[in-house]
Amino acid sequence: NISLDFIKGLPKAELHLHLEGTLEPDLKLKLAQKNKVDIGQETIEEIKASYQFDSLPSFLNIYYPAMNVLQEEEDFYELAMAYLRNAKEQGIKHAELFFDPQAHTTRGVSFETVVNGYHRAISESEELGITSELIMCFLRDMSAESAEKTLEEALPYKDKFIGVGLDSDEKGNPPSKFAHVFEKARAAGLKLTMHCDIDQENSIEHIRQVIEDIKVDRIDHGTNIVEDQKLVDYVKEHGIGLTSCPVSNGFVVDDMKGKEIIELLDQGVKVTVNSDDPAYFQSYISDDLFALATKYDMSQEQVVQLAKNSFEVSWITEEEKNRYL
């Protein structure tokens, strides 16, 4: 049997984590008081009780309004630093972290405030023994024009992030809607990844688009790919990684999708385990690995392979990978 301590001790990379999803109730309360933002709750217990949902839309309806407490550069810095300190305890050696600029610019916080705060934190992470990078996500339930505007605004800061991603509500918002802005991001030298959420409408068609049309470097979630062997063979041959989030899956579709994760692992696909929004799902990366390993009675070799995969499909250099593999 695998212990949580064994899992915490395994060197890991976190590749699917939304920085805004690391907002713990205590920091939310502190920032609300500092910035004089009325969040509708007055104690940590009340905030904890408010973090309740049973589907993706019900989650997103709590998640985005919570961000109102993030106002100043220092707030973004503090949020990311709190995550990085926790990451060290989880045995994370490298982290590629999503952030959602549109969730802030649409409520009057400047892009510069967001990116400078987050970037200051990640540039200090090496003092904790962790390397880290930022990935800028577009909100797919906003327009393609808004994504284009966001990219344009972000390009002067492109040395501060390594790639672009796509998150928020997938229903009715296929990857193809963002093909042009992703093409521009690639031309600017950025890496590409997109969410293909669990059990979405048109799931296989969306996965096909991200692979064949957008030509992403990685896929976030995407485990429905097991339904199409040709696509499985393609990601396997091209070393395209899948970033799975079992505890998050458990919340949004009531199934960790362990069967699919293990099936892909057994086929040699570079699938990884990650935490998604740990403050909301109350599970940091080692908890995700432990929950999965325990529920599906995984072998030590399988768990070690998941951890190795996380470095293999990360965007660190080959030389850095050799330190971990």
Annotated binding-site residues for substrate read 277
Task: Confirm or reject binding of residue 168 to ligand ES4 (CB under 6 A).
Answer: yes
Q: Where are the beta strands (DSSP E) in the chain?
A: 12-14, 92-99, 131-139, 163-167, 191-196, 218-221, 241-244, 271-273
Q: How many residues bind ligand ES4 (CB under 6 A)?
A: 12
User: What is the per-residue binding string for Zn ion in 262-281, x denoting contact by CB under 5 A?
Assistant: --------------x-----
Strand partners, 276: 17
**Three-state DSSP class for residue 315:** coil
Could you say which of Zn ion, ligand ES4, none residue 178 binds, taking C-beta under 5 to 8 angstroms by partner kind? none
What whole-number distance in Å separates Cα of residue 111 and Cα of residue 108?
A: 9
What whole-number distance in Å separates Cα of residue 246 and Cα of residue 56?
A: 14
Nearest residue (CB) to Zn ion, 55 versus 229: 55
Select from 78, 133, 260, 277 the one that contacts ligand ES4 (CB under 6 A): 277
The rounded radius of gyration (Å) of the Cα atoms in the chain is: 18
User: How many CB atoms sit inside 10 A of residue 192's CB?
Assistant: 20
Select from 93, 195, 206, 257 the one that contacts ligand ES4 (CB under 6 A): 195
Nearest residue (CB) to Zn ion, 96 versus 276: 276
Nearest residue (CB) to Zn ion, 78 versus 276: 276
What whole-number distance in Å separates Cα of residue 116 and Cα of residue 121?
A: 9
Helix runs in 193-242, H state only: 203-208, 229-238
Nearest residue (CB) to ligand ES4, 2 versus 245: 245
Task: Confirm or reject binding of residue 104 to ligand ES4 (CB under 6 A).
Answer: no
Question: Where is the binding site for Zn(2+), in residues?
Answer: 16, 18, 195, 276
Could you say which of Zn ion, ligand ES4, none residue 288 binds, taking C-beta under 5 to 8 angstroms by partner kind? none
**Three-state DSSP class for residue 247:** helix
Structure tokens belonging to residue 168 = 């928020």
What whole-number distance in Å separates Cα of residue 1 and Cα of residue 253?
A: 27
Q: How many residues bind Zn ion (CB under 5 A)?
A: 1
Give Cα 110 distance to the centre of its chain: 22
Strand partners, 195: 220
Could you say which of Zn ion, ligand ES4, none residue 256 binds, taking C-beta under 5 to 8 angstroms by partner kind? none
Question: Where is the binding site, in residues?
Answer: 16, 18, 195, 276-277
Q: Is 257 left (phi over 0), alpha (psi -120 to 50) or beta?
A: left
Task: Confirm or reject binding of residue 167 to ligand ES4 (CB under 6 A).
Answer: yes
Nearest residue (CB) to ligand ES4, 178 versus 311: 178
| Nearest position to ligand ES4, beta carbon | 167
Nearest residue (CB) to ligand ES4, 277 versus 287: 277
**Three-state DSSP class for residue 10:** coil
Select from 203, 223, 248, 305 the one that contacts ligand ES4 (CB under 6 A): 248
Residues near ligand ES4, by CB under 6 A: 18, 21, 56, 59, 167-168, 195, 197, 248, 252, 276-277
Residues near Zn ion, by CB under 5 A: 276
